Amino acid sequence: MSLSRMIARPMLASIFVVGGVNALRNAPSLGAKAAPVADKLMPLAHKAAPQAPLPEDPATMVRINAGVQIAAALTLATGRAPRLSAAVLAATLVPATATAHRFWEIDDKAQRTQQQLHFFKNVSLFGGLVIAAGDTDGRPGVAWRARRAAKDARRGARHFTAAARREAKLAKAQLN
């Protein structure tokens, strides 16, 4: 792992540890803020996964999201499954941002500006997490390996075809 990754991953993860701990401490008040969005999304979630045991209480959803963020942040910071951790953090950031930073609903200019800054900070974090989720640490990714395997297979098929034609010509020449 490069020095920049060794430093950058814990730095990127730190906001999620702090935010997750804060969410666990303040779950009831954050759950109340999340309730309007949760009320809209829960019917969709129940429709998408009818058998899944989904919590109805917004405070419980906040706690679950916070726990997932803390766990994923710690694995990202320690370099264990960093791509998966970054993807999980990106996925948890979407509902957290949609519930906590709805600046378009705020009338007070100062509060609106503050929430707008937090919203776009989270958008920036999301971008960083997308980059971290795609970071192969200098090794070829799965897509590159698949393209390479397909290219090698095509090359092998061409060589096999050419060799088969040569063998067929030789066999035909021996029969004549």
Asked whether the beta carbons of 38 and 78 are under 8 A apart, the reply is: no
d(CA 30, CA 95): 12
pLDDT(115) > 90: no
Which tens digits make up the pLDDT trace of 28-40?
Answer: 988 888 888 888 7
d(CA 90, CA 92): 6
The pLDDT, as a whole number, for residue 85 is: 94
Region at 55 (left for phi over 0; alpha for psi -120 to 50; beta for the rest): beta
Burial track 76-90 (b if 16+ CB lie within 10 A, e otherwise): bbeeeebeebbbbbb
